[in-house]
Amino acid sequence: MIKKYLLCGLTGWCMEVFWTGMGSALHKDKKLTSNTSIWMFPIYATAIIIEPLCRKLCSRKKGPAIRGMIYSLCIFATEFCSGAFLKKRGCCPWDYSKAKFNIKGIVRLDYLPVWFVVGLIYEKILCPDVKYFKHHAK
Q: What is the pLDDT of residues 72-119, one digit of tens each?
A: 999 999 999 999 999 999 999 999 999 999 999 999 999 999 999 999
pLDDT value for 129? 84
Domain that holds residue 83: 37-126
Q: What is the pLDDT of residues 5-18, one digit of tens each?
A: 999 999 999 999 99
Residue 3 lies in a domain: no
Residue 54 lies in a domain: yes
User: 107 forms bridges with which residues in the sheet?
Assistant: 103
Residue 31 lies in a domain: no
pLDDT value for 44? 96
CB 97 within 8 A of CB 105: yes
Residue 9 lies in a domain: no
CB under 8 Å to 113, separation ≥6 — which residues?
none
pLDDT value for 7? 95
Helix (H) or strand (E) run with residue 59 in it: helix 50-59
pLDDT value for 134? 62
Residue 45 lies in a domain: yes
Q: Is the pLDDT of residue 138 over 80?
A: no
At residue 7, the 3 state secondary structure works out as helix
Strand extents, DSSP E, the chain: 102-103, 107-108
pTM: 0.87
Give how many domains the chain has, as a whole number.
1
Residue 99 lies in a domain: yes
Residue 138 lies in a domain: no
